[in-house]
C-alpha cells in the first residue's frame, strides 16, 4: 500500500504558483486578487477561509474576505458580488458554502462572473466541464486528478466508482473521470446495495461525509482508494469516509485524511486564481 501524499504535492504546486505569480507581476505589474464571501459564523467555514487566506499570502496574492452576518439580505450579497465583478483588481471570486437557508444560493452563484468563478460552480463552467471544454473546474475533484497524475495513475478504461453525487464534488469528479476515458458509476444515498457497486471499482472515490462508510469488505484487492470525505469525530479527530486502518491493508494506493485531498483543494484554488488573472490580463491587452 502506498499513500497518495496530497500535502507534499500541494507544496510543490504552491512553489510553481509563487514563481508564476512573480513572473506575472514583473511582466505586467499585476498581482492576482482573490475575494471570498463568508456569511455567518460556522467554525468549519471560518477555519477553511483562514487557510485560504494564509495560502494566498504564501504565494503573493492579494486577498480580501467579506465577512457578513448570518441574517444578511440576498440583495446585500448580490451587491457585493456585482461590485467585485467590476473590480479589475479582483480576478477570482469565491462564495464559501453553505449559505444560510434564507439565501438563494443558485442566484448567488449565477451572479459571479464566469471568468472569475475560480470555484467552478457557475452553470457556464459546469456546462463546459460536462462537454469537455476548457473552463474552471471545482477545486476538490481537480485536485484529485492532479494527485492521480503525480503518481502516474491512469484512469483510462478503468472502472471508477464515485460515492456521493454533490454538485461540488461527486458530479464534477465523475465528469472529469469520464473526460479522461474512465468507465464511471455514481452512487448516492438512494443507491441500493452500495457494496455491490464498490466491489467493482478499480478506483473508488468517496465523498459522502459519513465516517467509516467504506469498510474492508466493500473494496476489491489492490483497489485505489480516494477518500474525499472530512469528518470530525466526537473526540475531535479528523477522519474521512473510509475505514483507513482496515481498508489500507487491502488497497494498492490510498489518500490519508488529513493530508490527502484536503491540501490539494487549496492548491487548485491558487492555481485557478492565477489562471484567472493570466486570462484577464491577456483580455485587457
The residues annotated with a catalytic role in the active site are 52, 96, 119
The grid coordinates of residue 83 equal: 461590485
Nearest to 38 by CA among 9, 80, 86, 75: 80
Residues 132 and 124: their CA atoms lie apart, in Å, by 12
The grid coordinates of residue 127 equal: 456546462
Residues 198 and 274: their CA atoms lie apart, in Å, by 37
Find the Cα–Cα–Cα–Cα dihedral 11, 16, 21, 26, rounded to 10°. 140
Nearest to 231 by CA among 257, 204, 266: 257
The grid coordinates of residue 235 equal: 473526540
Burial 54-93 (b: 16+ CB within 10 A, else e): ebbeebbbbbebbebeeebeeeebeebbeebeeeeebbbb
10 Å CB burial of residue 241 (0-12, 13-18, 19+) is: buried
The grid coordinates of residue 280 equal: 484577464
Asked if residues 119 and 141 have their Cβ atoms less than 8 Å apart, the reply is no
10 Å CB burial of residue 283 (0-12, 13-18, 19+) is: exposed
Amino acid at each position: 500500500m502506498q499513500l497518495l501524499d496530497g500535502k507534499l504535492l500541494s507544496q510543490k504546486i504552491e512553489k510553481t504558483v509563487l514563481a508564476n505569480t512573480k513572473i506575472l507581476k514583473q511582466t505586467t505589474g499585476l498581482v492576482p486578487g482573490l475575494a471570498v464571501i463568508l456569511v455567518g459564523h460556522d467554525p468549519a467555514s471560518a477555519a477553511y477561509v483562514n487557510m485560504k487566506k494564509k495560502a494566498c499570502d504564501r504565494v503573493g496574492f492579494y486577498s480580501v474576505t467579506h465577512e457578513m452576518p448570518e441574517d444578511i439580505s440576498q440583495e446585500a450579497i448580490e451587491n457585493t458580488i456585482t461590485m467585485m465583478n467590476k473590480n479589475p483588481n479582483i480576478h477570482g471570486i469565491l462564495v464559501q458554502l453553505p449559505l444560510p437557508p434564507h439565501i438563494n444560493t443558485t442566484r448567488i452563484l449565477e451572479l459571479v462572473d464566469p471568468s472569475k468563478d475560480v470555484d467552478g460552480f457557475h452553470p457556464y463552467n459546469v456546462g463546459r466541464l460536462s462537454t469537455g471544454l476548457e473552463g474552471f473546474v471545482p477545486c476538490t475533484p481537480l485536485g484529485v486528478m492532479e494527485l492521480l497524475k503525480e503518481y502516474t495513475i491512469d484512469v483510462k478504461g478503468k472502472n471508477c466508482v464515485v460515492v456521493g453525487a454533490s454538485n461540488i464534488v461527486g458530479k464534477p469528479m465523475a465528469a472529469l473521470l469520464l473526460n479522461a476515458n474512465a468507465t464511471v458509476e455514481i452512487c448516492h444515498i438512494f443507491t441500493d446495495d452500495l457494496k455491490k457497486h464498490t466491489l467493482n471499482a478499480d478506483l473508488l472515490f468517496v465523498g459522502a461525509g459519513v465516517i467509516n462508510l467504506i469498510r474492508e469488505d466493500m473494496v476489491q484487492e489492490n483497489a485505489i482508494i480516494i477518500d474525499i470525505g472530512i469528518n470530525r469525530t466526537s473526540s475531535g479527530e479528523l477522519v474521512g469516509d473510509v475505514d483507513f486502518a482496515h481498508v489500507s491493508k487491502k488497497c494498492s494506493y490510498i489518500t490519508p485524511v488529513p493530508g490527502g485531498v484536503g491540501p490539494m483543494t487549496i492548491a487548485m484554488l491558487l492555481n485557478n486564481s492565477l489562471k484567472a488573472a493570466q486570462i484577464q490580463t491577456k483580455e485587457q491587452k
